[in-house]
């Protein structure tokens, strides 16, 4: 199987188009039905915490079926999809010291903090390597206030490829559109794409030349910087080779992109791009950071004037502000499912082989010790995961156990994730996957 680097760099110019299209066709058309393994995965993290009362049906205090339960108002948009839903309460992340946010630790299952670099890779990155490979194995998008997304269009707070290797998320949909679909566009978008491509090619060349003169201690770190430009430039070339295929999935560029009235216009545009990247087979892993893993965020487009840190000091249950935010998120989850349902795969659809993980980057609330980390799963992957149920755990197993379970489901043998024996003795009462999650 080709690895991540080979996909981006090992395609000869003369055979790139045939290889790229063959890869996408294999991903979209040749996935066997009933394989019982995910082909793609989506992580959706909302900042400020995920209070379990906003997702657990009233009166449910122990594990059981959701069939006769009514979902709470904040997630009522998921009611028609209840048979695909698994609500999990009672995982913990005390070892991540989340407080305002666990940052990289939320998906890494290790101690995180504001400005603290990742100490290991995160689960989304590891899954992107274990899942069937694509041209862009891992895509991260981040949603924030329009001011923050404009002034800081890329930011790295949630995903990492290894210790000291943060992965940046896209927050300006125009930039992401140029990356994914600039090669098939016309007019201003095409001209901007070509100009940006020329600049990035020149930067890569200059950076590589300058790096050779650095002290040996700096060469490796600088090499990662150069490799980032090389990966982007090579990815752009690979995407251009499958232009005809991509045209079927590119979303329409409208005023949400060019003249956003509210930040939610950009949120919606980013989501459309994320869905299109999954549906086209360009990526197998999508990470969505609502609030971008920090304490900020705004939803004025929902009629919410308060924003940022203040939202975290508001109780979430029965709060009309948080009901609107959670309902908005739930509608986004529905849009992802519906978008993948429209694409055939094997004897079913892409959603049949997709798992969506919804949680927060700081457990149950903004100022938290991480003792309870609620999670919702959507999708069964042809019966591999339990659905249509609520599971109440006893609080002695960490989020790492869930991540190890996801790796197992993707075909990677893993009893633990980012947790050595010493940490496990202190923070994990068990070993191996969560039997409550797998069917």
Which of 247-250's residues contact partners 24+ apart within 8 Å by CB, and which partners?
247/184, 248/280, 249/276, 249/279, 249/280, 250/177, 250/180, 250/181, 250/184, 250/276
Question: What are the strands of the beta sheet with 138-143, ordered from one edge?
Answer: 64-65, 389-392, 85-89, 375-378, 354-360, 40-46, 285-290, 138-143, 165-170, 154-162
Residue 190, H or E segment: helix 187-211
Length of the chain: 439
Handedness of CA 15, 17, 23, 25 (dihedral sign): negative
Q: 51: domain CATH number? A: 3.40.720
Question: Is 394 a member of any domain?
Answer: yes
Q: Quote the pLDDT of residue 381.
A: 94
Parallel, antiparallel, or unpaired for β 165-170 and 154-162? Answer: antiparallel
Structurally, the chain folds into a number of domains equal to 1
Q: In the prediction, which pLDDT does 253 show?
A: 93
Query: DSSP states of 416-436 as a string?
Result: -SS--HHHHHHH-S--SS-TT
Cβ–Cβ < 8 Å for 375, 321: no
Is residue 209 classed exposed, middle or buried when 0-12, 13-18 and 19+ CB atoms within 10 A define those classes? exposed
pLDDT grade, residue 243 (50/70/90)?
Answer: confident
Q: What is the dihedral sign for C-alpha 242, 245, 249, 255? A: positive
- Over residues 366-422, the pLDDT tens digits come to 889 999 999 999 999 999 999 999 999 999 999 999 999 999 999 999 999 999 999
Q: pTM of the prediction?
A: 0.87
Residue that the structure tokens 């082909």 belong to: 39
Q: Are 54 and 72 in contact (CB under 8 A)?
A: yes
Domain that holds residue 385: 40-171+249-427
Query: Does 8 reside within a domain?
Result: no
Specify if 52 maps to a domain: yes
> Rounded to the nearest 10 degrees, what angle do helices 16-29 and 216-241 cross at?
80
Q: Which of 51, 138, 104, 146 is nearest to 293 (CA)?
A: 104
Beta bridge partners of 290: 46, 143
- Beta bridge partners, 375, equal 88
The 10s digit of each residue's pLDDT in 1-58 is 333 333 333 333 333 344 444 455 444 444 444 467 899 999 999 999 999 999 999 9
Q: Is residue 35 part of a domain?
A: no
Instruction: Report pLDDT digits (tens) over 246-304.
Output: 889 999 999 999 999 999 999 999 999 999 999 999 999 999 999 999 999 999 999 99
pLDDT for the residue numbered 32: 42
CA dist., res. 65 & res. 307, Å (int): 36
What secondary structure letter does DSSP report for 92?
B
Residue 236 lies in a domain: no
**Domain-embedded: residue 65:** yes
In a domain, 187, yes or no: no
Which position has the token pair 């308060």? Answer: 306
pLDDT at 179: 86
Among residues of the chain, what percentage have pLDDT more than 70? Answer: 80
Ramachandran area for residue 273 (φ above 0: left; ψ -120 to 50: alpha; else beta): alpha
Q: Give the distance from CA 95 to its chain's centroid.
A: 22
- In 109-214, DSSP assigns E strands to 138-143, 154-162, 165-170
The neighbour count for residue 284, using CB atoms within 10 Å, is 27
Name the nearest CA neighbour of 243 among 4, 17, 6: 17
Classify 154 as helix, strand or coil: strand
| pLDDT confidence of residue 196 | 59
Q: How many CA atoms lie within 13 A of 4 on its CB side?
A: 16
pLDDT digits (tens, 9 = 90+) for 300-341: 999 999 988 889 899 999 999 999 999 999 999 999 999 999
Tell me, yes or no, whether 383 lies in a domain. yes
pLDDT recorded at residue 190: 57
Cα-based torsion angle of the residue sequence 104, 108, 112, 117 in order, rounded to the nearest 10 degrees: -60
Q: Determine contact, residues 57/317, Cβ cutoff 8 Å.
A: no
| Average pLDDT of the residues in 94-119 | 95
Both tokens of 381, joined, read 């992957």
């Amino acid at each position: 199987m080709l690895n991540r680097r080979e996909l981006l760099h090992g395609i000869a110019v003369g055979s790139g188009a045939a290889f790229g299209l063959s890869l996408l066709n294999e991903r979209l058309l040749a996935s066997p039905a009933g394989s019982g393994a995910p082909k793609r995965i989506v992580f959706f993290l909302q900042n400020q915490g995920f209070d379990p009362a906003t997702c657990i049906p009233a009166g449910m205090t122990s594990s059981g079926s959701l069939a006769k339960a009514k979902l709470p108002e904040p997630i009522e948009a998921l009611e028609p999809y209840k048979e695909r839903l698994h609500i999990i309460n009672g995982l913990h992340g005390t070892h991540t010291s989340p407080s305002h946010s666990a940052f990289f630790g939320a998906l890494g299952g290790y101690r995180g903090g504001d400005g603290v670099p990742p100490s290991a890779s995160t689960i989304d990155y590891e899954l992107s390597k274990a899942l069937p490979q694509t041209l862009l194995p891992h895509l991260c998008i981040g949603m924030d206030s329009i001011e923050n997304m404009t002034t800081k269009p890329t930011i790295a707070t949630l995903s990492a490829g290894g210790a000291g290797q943060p992965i940046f998320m896209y927050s300006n949909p125009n930039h992401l559109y140029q990356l994914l679909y600039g090669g098939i566009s016309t007019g201003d978008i095409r001209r901007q794409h070509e100009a940006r491509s020329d600049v990035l090619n020149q930067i890569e060349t200059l950076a590589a030349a300058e790096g050779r003169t650095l002290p040996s201690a700096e060469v490796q770190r600088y090499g990662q910087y150069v490799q980032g430009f090389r990966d982007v430039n090579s990815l752009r070339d690979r995407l251009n080779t499958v232009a005809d295929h991509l045209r079927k999935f590119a979303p329409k560029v409208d005023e949400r992109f060019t003249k956003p009235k509210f930040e939610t216009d950009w949120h919606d545009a980013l989501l459309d791009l994320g869905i299109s990247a999954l549906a086209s087979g360009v990526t197998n892993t999508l990470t969505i950071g609502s609030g971008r893993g920090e304490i900020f965020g705004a939803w004025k487009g929902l009629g919410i004037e308060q924003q940022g840190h203040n939202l975290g000091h508001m109780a979430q249950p029965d709060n009309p502000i948080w009901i609107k935010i959670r309902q908005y998120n739930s509608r986004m989850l529905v849009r992802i499912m519906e978008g993948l349902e429209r694409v055939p795969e094997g004897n079913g659809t892409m959603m049949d082989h997709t798992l969506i993980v919804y949680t927060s980057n700081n457990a149950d609330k903004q100022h938290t010790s991480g003792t309870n980390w609620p999670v919702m799963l959507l999708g069964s992957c042809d019966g591999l995961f339990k659905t249509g149920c609520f599971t109440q755990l006893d609080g002695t197993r960490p989020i790492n156990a869930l991540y190890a379970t996801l790796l197992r489901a993707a075909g990677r043998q893993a009893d633990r994730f980012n947790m050595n024996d010493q940490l496990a003795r202190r923070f994990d009462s068990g070993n191996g996957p969560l039997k409550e999650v797998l069917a």
